[in-house]
Amino acid sequence: QVTLRESGPALVKPTQTLTLTCTFSGFSLSTRGMCVSWIRQPPGKALEWLALIDWDDDKYYNTSLKTRLTISKDTSKTQVVLSMTNMDPVDTAIYYCARMVRGFLFDVWGKGTTVTVSS
Amino acid sequence: NFLLTQPHSVSESPGKTVTISCTGSSGSIASNYVQWYQQRPGSAPTTVIYEDSQRPSGVPDRFSGSIDSSSNSASLTISGLKTEDEADYYCQSYDSSNLWVFGGGTRLTVL
């Protein structure tokens, strides 16, 4: 069974750096074709794709947020970490991690973690 | 920027059929697969259609997807509407410049 779970701070201050961890099981990020992505959803708004890391350690970023984002995976390959710098109240959202397969399908999602940016 | 445009909301009665559109802003929507996700309040999205028209196991055949190249649009059709279908629906595809893109979402109300 494939599962993903997001963890991180619920509250960050403006200008701080947000670090989120996605812990997954049921698949290996070393397997060709496997990818893990981060997607966020501000309150009452649409989903927004943020970043993706693949089995070969290639990384892809939302062009609008590229300068603020860093995605990485740990050596055991069961965690993916997303860092976002210079947080602003507009970054308040639910942050999801999801597995992507076949290059286009987010087939399994975590439950999401709510991040509020406020002083 | 490549955009996928959806109607903000649609509503229909139980037992009826509803179609939600997803229009690509540029290029050919047929060039890359379109997926559809259902998101119920307070829950993460789940896939109802992938590869334009394929249903994951467990998704009822009341859900179907299609592509219309002439209008550069994808559509999600739900027949025999049930109150449990009430949710937000998002289309998603890929663009070489913007990578993975989601539509703005459509709120389906089953009256």
Nearest Cα of chain B lies from the Cα of A96 at a distance, in angstroms, of 8
pLDDT at A75: 66
> End-to-end distance of chain A based on CA atoms, in angstroms?
40
Residue B36: pLDDT over 70: yes
Place of tokens 């076949």: A102
Q: Retrieve residue A44's tokens.
A: 């009452």
* Gap between the Cα atoms of A29 and A31, Å rounded: 5
Q: Do A107 and B92 touch (CB under 8 A)?
A: no
Q: Which of B101, B96, B111 is nearest to B74 (CA)?
A: B101
pLDDT of B99 > 80? The answer is yes
Give the residue among B38, B40, B41 at the shortest CA–CA distance from B91: B38
| Residue A34: predicted pLDDT | 94
Q: Which of B83, B109, B89 is nearest to B20 (CA)?
A: B89
Distance of residue A15 Cα from the nearest chain B Cα, in angstroms: 26
Q: Which of A37, A63, A109 sits opposite B45 (nearest CB)?
A: A109
Contact B46 A109 (CB under 8 A): yes
Distance in angstroms (rounded) separating the CA atoms of residues B73 and B22 = 5
Average pLDDT estimate for B101-105: 97
CB A107 within 8 A of CB B39: no
pLDDT at B71: 93
Residues of A in contact with B90 (CB under 8 A): 46-47
* Shortest distance, CA A65 to any CA of chain B (angstroms): 11
Q: Is B58 in CB contact (< 8 Å) with chain A?
A: no
Q: Is pLDDT above 90 for B41?
A: yes
pLDDT tens, position by position, for chain A (119 residues)? 999 999 999 999 999 999 999 999 999 999 999 999 999 999 999 999 999 999 999 999 999 999 999 999 986 869 999 999 999 999 999 999 999 999 899 999 999 999 999 99
Task: Please tell me the distance in Å from A106's CA to the nearest CA on chain B.
Answer: 8
The amino acid present at A66, given as its one-letter code, is: K
Q: Is the minimum CB–CB distance between A60 and chain B shorter than 8 Å? A: yes
Nearest to B44 among A52, A62, A110 (CB): A110
pLDDT at A77: 66
Contacts of B54 in chain A (CB under 8 A): none
